[in-house]
């Protein structure tokens, strides 16, 4: 935020005052950013750990991220999340007679961060 404001021809004193006020009003919060980022990525079907990796790459605060990740992991059910992602992608269900379709679904889940055990479990359930 400091870099963005400094690039707009504001003096250092004004930038410092604005940042202090934003922090005091809780508009500039690392924890809120981490939580919003993780929840946004999880709505797209990513696992919490993959979303956290991406948040780290974006520069999220490590402590805030770990705290939010701990809260999210308490209620997170990976197999159920994988089922929901597959249902969103193909609500009518897909055919497992074609192994290429099964492999495509497995790659899709793997790219979203799901473990191999979860992928096999969920895809096996769907094929039965």
| Average pLDDT of the segment spanning 97-115 | 89
Q: 11-36 burial by CB neighbour count: b if 16+ within 10 A, else e?
A: eeeebeeeeeeeeeeeeeebeebbbe
Give residue 93's pLDDT band: very low, low, confident or very high (50, 70, 90).
low
- For residue 26, the Cα-to-chain-centroid distance in whole angstroms is 22
pTM for this one?
Answer: 0.73
């Amino acid at each position: 935020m400091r870099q963005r404001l400094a690039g707009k021809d504001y003096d250092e004193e004004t930038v410092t005052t604005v940042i202090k006020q934003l922090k005091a009003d809780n508009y500039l919060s690392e924890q809120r950013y981490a939580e919003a980022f993780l929840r946004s990525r999880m709505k797209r079907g990513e696992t919490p750990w993959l979303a956290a990796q991406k948040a780290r790459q974006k520069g999220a605060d490590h402590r805030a991220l770990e705290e939010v990740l701990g809260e999210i992991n308490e209620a997170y059910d990976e197999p159920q999340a994988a089922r929901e992602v597959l249902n969103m992608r193909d609500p009518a269900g897909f055919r497992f007679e074609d192994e290429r379709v099964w492999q495509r679904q497995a790659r899709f889940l793997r790219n979203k961060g799901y473990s191999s055990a979860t992928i096999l479990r969920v895809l096996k359930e769907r094929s039965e």
